[in-house]
Amino acid sequence: MMSSLGSIAKHPTITLIDALTTLKELKQVHAQLLANGLLNDHHLLGQFVATIALHNPKNLTYSDQLLTNYDTPTLFSFNSMIRAYSKSSTPHKSFHFYNRILRSLNNLSPDNYTFNFLIRTCAQLLARETGPSVHGALVKYGFENDPHIQSGLIFMYAELGCLNSCHKVFGGISSPDVVCQTAMVSACAKCGDLGFARDLFDEMPGRDSIAWNAMIAGYAQRGKSREALSLFYLMQMEGVKVNEVSMVSVLSACSHLGALDQGRWAHAYIEKNKLRVTVNLGTALIDMYAKCGAMDKAMEVFWGMKEKNVFTWSSAMGGLAMNGFGEKCLELFSLMKKDGVQPNEVTFVAVLRGCSVVGLVDEGKEHFSSMKTSYGIEPEIEHYGCLVDLYGRAGRVVEALNVINSMPMQPHAAAWGALLNACRMYKNLELGELASRKIVELESKNHGAYVLLSNIYADSKKWDGVSNVRQIMKSKGVKKIPGCSVIEVDGEVHEFFVGDKSHPRYNEIEIMLGEISRRLKLFGYVANTNPVLFDIEEEEKEDALCKHSEKVAIAFGLISLREGVPIRIVKNLRVCWDCHEVTKIISKVFNREIIVRDRNRFHHFKDGQCSCRGYW
């Protein structure tokens, strides 16, 4: 049983209460004290309220009832309730207790603790109007110079996305301590001003581990993975103590990059330095291995974890779905429920994707409807998107369209995108046109929609349609996103943009590309040389040979990685059909496992087959 150090040598009954954790025990002791007339002390009541609220955050009604049984609860009790509700799933109830303080018979008045908890509540609620009112109120009470309040306000305004207000609060602090400065670094990073965050960080005297972690996390969260990693190396160079929290961000950066070698290095670092593998850290490891296509390692970490929370389960399930292991994803879902972990909306995204990748339409439908009926989770737009994908992938495009037409919210581009992808797979020109028209209405610069549509036209040999699409793209100024593939060799990340010949070993790469071409022809592969088709792939081709960035990266992998080592590529766009065919054949004729993570999912190529079975 947990017992907090703070209670040692205090009132013996408080120590007793503090040591209790279950509601049952607390209720029993409470009844006993009451029966023996020992509960006349408001401090004891307050301790009950606080302890119950602390250990039973999901069942605050008992604490609530306790308070109503006493006519004059202490400020401590009210504050404890506000704190408890600020972290609960119903944070707004905090305000009920704030009002009770204001209306109390014994003339209580909110203190700095009260406001600190209310600030958390506002942050939690993303209360863009109430937050500033609470700020105004605490100023009236004269707490604006309390450093706890100041750092809290910076945190709150960052959550609300009000960087200006953060600056105002921060600027009003005469000599901000390291805590407030770190809060400000984090706030700027969260709101996207990494430059200011970094300047502040660089000039921070007495930067501690937390400050470094804040800056590294700031980069990692904004997708600046390389910057996050290089700052982490600097942190080590400066001899700052690295902890679990640092490694969570480092792993997150590796996940983003698909940098398996660096991720493995980070894992080894954690073990070597005996860092505690907390739930967060374990989850970050699972996510890293999963997003680097090493699902077996991810599951090894998963099974080795004693404590797993909803993040842990959802990460593992999402990873399995993304890697094409739909059935395993669903098995894990059953285990999760058996384990008593409550699934949330993110878990269901993974479940639905798991169903989708293996074509389990009926099962997916059931899970979808169970969200609300069994778990009280209202399906969000993402879940409807998954449902469209579920039908679409299975070739049931009309039902997919019905989902879009009957969803309770305005369909987003991703829903139409799922339908469009299905139309490409099943060559449904009519619906494909509708879907892409809708996408373009919603996102006039969505390059992928035009590409998929022109693919559909090309598949049906409607060249007029193809050139029409091309003209629309030109007139609307839709820019192609340059394709880029990343491959890691000996811990070094090599980036290949389409048509980019700047790599120091490009000559060798070119020779290898020739060799690939030769062996593909021997195998009987006929390159797709239709000039119309050429122009419509996701990437521009820079010459007559199809040299999409992943092919160049694969060629580089073949010359630089030892035989038998799988080639792992991370691509920023979807893999095109031609590259997909070619990669399948390369995996066979070069007897090499190739793992490609594109913007949607993984393709594990082995022995001429791909794990996606042609659906992506």
Partner DNA sequence: CTAGGGTTAG
Site for DNA in 303-332 (CB under 7 A): 309-312, 314-315, 318
Cβ 498 to DNA, closest distance in Å?
26
Name which of residues 405 to 424 contact DNA (CB under 7 A).
none
Neighbouring C-alpha atoms within 13 Å toward the C-beta of 34: 11
User: Which of 178/585 has CB closer to DNA?
Assistant: 178
List the one residue from 112, 130, 467, 528 that touches DNA (CB under 7 A): 112
Q: Which strands make up the sheet holding 567-571, listed edge to edge?
A: 492-497, 484-489, 567-571, 594-597, 602-606, 609-610
Name which of residues 80 to 109 contact DNA (CB under 7 A).
80, 83
Ramachandran region of residue 597, left (φ > 0), alpha (ψ -120 to 50) or beta? beta
Name which of residues 257 to 296 contact DNA (CB under 7 A).
278-281, 283-284, 287
404 interacts with DNA by CB under 7 A: no
User: Which of 206/524 has CB closer to DNA?
Assistant: 206
- 418 and 391 in contact (C-beta within 8 Å)? no
- 51 and 80 in contact (C-beta within 8 Å)? no
CA pair distance 425, 452, nearest whole angstrom: 10
Binding mask 372-401 for DNA (x = CB under 7 A): --------x-x-------------------
Name which of residues 220 to 259 contact DNA (CB under 7 A).
220-221, 243-246, 248-249, 252, 255
User: Which of 385/557 has CB closer to DNA?
Assistant: 385
- 289 and 295 in contact (C-beta within 8 Å)? yes
Neighbouring C-alpha atoms within 13 Å toward the C-beta of 239: 0
For residue 496, the SS3 value is strand
Cβ 562 to DNA, closest distance in Å?
30
111 interacts with DNA by CB under 7 A: yes
CA 608 to chain centre: 33
User: Which of 134/180 has CB closer to DNA?
Assistant: 180
User: Which of 221/517 has CB closer to DNA?
Assistant: 221
Amino acid symbol at 208: D
CA pair distance 459, 65, nearest whole angstrom: 68
Amino acid symbol at 360: L
User: Which of 83/547 has CB closer to DNA?
Assistant: 83
CA pair distance 412, 315, nearest whole angstrom: 24
46 interacts with DNA by CB under 7 A: yes
CA pair distance 94, 83, nearest whole angstrom: 7
List the one residue from 183, 194, 336, 553 that touches DNA (CB under 7 A): 183
Name which of residues 142 to 171 contact DNA (CB under 7 A).
146-152, 155
- 568 and 486 in contact (C-beta within 8 Å)? no
Pairing of strands 594-597, 492-497: unpaired
386's tokens: 């998954």
CA pair distance 343, 213, nearest whole angstrom: 29
Cβ 219 to DNA, closest distance in Å?
11
Name which of residues 11 to 40 contact DNA (CB under 7 A).
14
347 interacts with DNA by CB under 7 A: yes
User: Which of 297/592 has CB closer to DNA?
Assistant: 297
192 interacts with DNA by CB under 7 A: no
177 interacts with DNA by CB under 7 A: yes
Q: Mind giving me the DSSP string for 408-428?
A: SSPPPHHHHHHHHHHHHHTT-
User: Which of 87/503 has CB closer to DNA?
Assistant: 87
Cβ 117 to DNA, closest distance in Å?
7
Cβ 517 to DNA, closest distance in Å?
36
- 67 and 49 in contact (C-beta within 8 Å)? yes
571 interacts with DNA by CB under 7 A: no
User: Which of 294/579 has CB closer to DNA?
Assistant: 294
Name which of residues 499 to 538 contact DNA (CB under 7 A).
none
